[in-house]
Structure 1
Amino acid sequence: MKSDTHSSPSLRWDIFCRVIDNYGDLGVCWRLCADLAQRGQTLRLWTDDASALAWMAPQGCAGISVHAWPNEADLQALAKDTTFTVGDVIVEAFGCELPEAFQALIAQGPKPVWVNLEYLSAEGYVARSHGLASPVMSGPARGMNKWFYFPGFTPDTGGLLREPNLLEVPGRAAWLGTLPLDKPISPHERLISLFCYEPKALPDLLEQLSQADEPTRLLVAQGRPSAAVAAATQALRMPKIGTSQLHISLLPYFSQTEFDHLLRACDLNFVRGEDSLVRALWAGQPLVWHIYPQDDLAHHDKLHAFEVALDMPADLQQFHAVWNGLETGQLPTLSPVTLGRWRDWSHLTQQSLFAQTDLTTQLLRFVAQKR
């Protein structure tokens, strides 16, 4: 479905994001900012840790200015700055709460549209809660409304982030040739990307790949994935670069654009969190999602809702159950027939989601209705 990229008036946006323990929240917020900027909007991104943008978005983006999360002194200075005005739209991402002094600035001038951007889920409450008002009951902004905005996988939710130029990608072979790897990729190698936390089934995966009938190149992301692989190879007494039919290559830190290219180039993608899951869905290749684990096990219901909403094949659900620690036992075998069946599902899922209106287009319409 086409987006009405040029039909929305240019507005000023203040988007607030706190980095908790990984950079997925910041990644989502930057993608949203970049998509809005490319549609003629002007944005200030406020975050308590912008360090990951150095590799996530090294070129920056015209129309976006990045600011440190405002402390008390910053807010006092803003209150005295006659040139500063609050944006037409305030986005509070993922439950981060605005400082009361900034809420006071909001309350003083023309009332902006105040959006509470929530986490992505396929659970039933998403469609029921999307677009509802959340009255501010206390503090300097008392009496104003925030609006719940829920991303989702169905037309009755806020949709998924998808840029208008999403399908403009370089050739696979040419792009793979640019990767700074320890060993060139062979045309005969099966390519699997690994972006995960610390799954208990990782040693099982490495053993399975090392004994497979076809050679596999495992492309491992930096950070927790590479540390997890190092621990798994040590536990298996396997060389760090793999053995037999498996060769393990460590990737550099990728920009978001390069990460998207990686997902399209691979035959199977292990992803984690929210941002990389959505990008893997757009890649149209088989995927395995390592959902963010929660102490109360709420992620079990969230994973199941995702599987049901997208009509995931039974053997892929079983792989997810073991990979995410919901069940014990061996991982299902990643045979060519299995991956082919998962690829068909991924392609159909990509096309179905692509037929829905993207998140940014919907958000622009939502804001226009509330102004």
Structure 2
Amino acid sequence: MTAKLPALSLQWDVFCRVIDNFGDIGVCWRLVAQLAARGQRVRLWVDDASALQWMAPEGCTGVDVRPWHAPPPGADEPPPDVMVEAFGCEIAPEFIAYSARQASARGPKHPRPVWINLEYLSAEGYVERTHGLPSPILSGPAAGWTRWFFYPGFTPATGGLLRESDLMARREAFDRDAWRADHRTAFALGEDAPGTRWASLFCYEPAALPELLQRCEAEPTRLLVTPGRPAAAVRAALQGRDGNAGQAAPQCSSTQHGQLSISYLPHRPQPAFDAMLWACDFNAVRGEDSLVRALWAGQALVWHIYPQHDNAHHDKLHAFLDWLQAPASLRRFHATWNGLDTAPLQWPDDATLAEWTLCIQHARSRLLTQDSLVTQLLGFVTEKR
């Protein structure tokens, strides 16, 4: 059942601190853009907006990006109806004090802002237990208010996943052959050999990466390497091999290693990142945002989960694979890719890759029966107001 949406356009203030790798700002930008597409007014407060220059170069109508330390809104601007702190970033005390003053000036008949802590994505059982729970504010200018925990997730008992209303229609209309032809032209590549696999690489520094590259060299493969840490990891894995292969290759360049063609990609806007995932037969992704986008892509994937010093990410990975109903071969690949074991990396044959793809598509079908995160968030705010 679709959640009831607010009748009016509300003022949302979304707060984001960029920890590393731009995953936080990637999720937050998709959130604010989708809120704006639903007719909401949004201010995004962020401590490092530099990634938006390539992630969202055209901006978004209805979204106002502001520096984290900018002063609170002026007297001629609307105060917040909703405050969202992403990933526990803790809203600046000055903004909380401002919001409390504005709420007091509005009077008791006007709803207080709905204060939401948007949490990290996980398939672990605690997510269903804690999604939507209140956290009373006991001190400070907002004493007596309530902050609500909102958990993204993979099941109907969670807050769902970010998904644009037209995403599946755009996915269905995507012309993979045309995209691949454009890529070959841009990188001055020849035609594909029969049976060529296309794979994307967005990872940290997996220990199994050199083995993956070696296996890809033995069969026709186009590997699309995203910039930053993935490109550096590939260059390090190739260091000392194939002459100068370990030297830094510029963006928008390609190198050949046996039957493996490597394309070093530039930074790209979020819609172009989605298109890359749609164009590939296999996607290696990392973090939160790219995992969700790879699920919507419906192609075989491996998730490089963010490593934690206490190995808490192991349980998180197993919980995701359980929800995914991953076959044994995909579980083994994830274990090796994430360094949970040192077993040889089992690069899939065609039948196994098809099994992985079918697994992802079945999982996507389950997700599509659930309301998106923004739909649920709008309904949640309506209820709390």
Name which of 221, 226, 232 aligns with 1:221. 226
Question: 1:13·1:87 contact (CA, 8 Å) conserved in 2?
Answer: yes
* Deviation of the 1:346 alpha carbon: 1.1
User: Alignment partner for residue 183 of structure 1, among 189, 212, 215?
Assistant: 189
CA contact (8 A) 1:181 1:251 kept: no
Does the CA-based 8 Å contact 1:181-1:250 persist in structure 2? no
Which residue of structure 2 lines up, in the alignment, with residue 50 of structure 1?
A: 49
Contact 1:132 1:147 in 2 (8 A): yes
Structure 1 match to 2:210:
203
Shift of the 125–171 alpha-carbon distance from structure 1 to 2, 3 Å rule, reads same
Q: Residues of 1 paired with 2:323 and 2:216: CA distance?
A: 30
Q: Which residue of 2 aligns with 1:365?
A: 379
Aligned partner of residue 288 in structure 1, secondary structure = strand
> 1:247 & 1:177 partners in 2: Cα distance?
15
Question: CA, structure 1 residues 130+3, in 2 after alignment: closer, same or farther (shift >3 Å)?
Answer: closer
1:230 lines up with 2:244 in the alignment: no
Alignment: residue pair count: 362
How far, CA to CA, are the matches of 1:229 and 1:147 in structure 2? Answer: 42
| Amino acid paired to 1:101 | E
Partner of 1:163: 164
Deviations 1:157-184 (A, max 9, x none): 0000010010214311222333332425
Residue 291 of structure 1, aligned match among 281, 305, 310: 305
After superposition, the Cα gap between the structure-2 partners of 1:184 and 1:20, relative to the gap in structure 1 and judged at 3 Å, is farther
1:274-311 CA-partner distances (Å, limit 9, x unpaired): 00000000000000000011111111110011011121
CA RMSD of aligned residues (A): 1.7
**Contact (CA 8 Å) 1:3, 1:358: kept in 2 or not?**
no
**Distance (Å, rounded) in 2 between the aligned partners of 1:307 and 1:244:** 33
Long gaps (5+) in structure 1: none
- Find out whether 1:174 has 2:178 as its counterpart: yes
| Length-normalised TM-score, structure 2 | 0.90
The CA deviation at 1:89 is 0.4
Which piece of structure 1 moves more, 194-203 or 94-103? 94-103
Q: Would the aligned equivalents of 1:182 and 1:249 in 2 still touch at CA under 8 Å?
A: no
2:268 — aligned with what? 254
Query: Does structure 1 residue 108 correspond to structure 2 residue 101?
Result: yes
Mapped to 2, the partners of 1:358 and 1:271 lie a distance apart of 21
The one-letter code matched in structure 2 to 1:326 is L
The one-letter code matched in structure 2 to 1:137 is L
Asked whether the 8 Å contact 2:12–2:41 carries over to 1, the reply is yes
Aligned partners of 1:314, 1:290: CA distance in 2, in Å? Answer: 17
Matches of residues 25-40 of structure 1 in structure 2 within 5 Å?
Answer: 25-40=24-39
The amino acid of 1:186's aligned partner reads D
Q: Give matches, 1:1-80, under 5 Å.
A: 8-70=7-69, 74-75=71-72, 78=73
Instruction: Determine whether 1:193 maps to 2:200.
Output: yes
1:3 CA displacement: 7.8
Fraction of identical pairs, as percent: 56
* 2: CA distance, partners of 1:292 / 1:185: 36
> Does structure 1 conserve the Cα–Cα contact (< 8 Å) formed by 2:6 and 2:378?
no
Return the alpha-carbon distance in structure 1 between the equivalents of residues 14 and 304 of structure 2.
Answer: 27
Pick the aligned partner of 2:347 from 327, 333, 343.
333
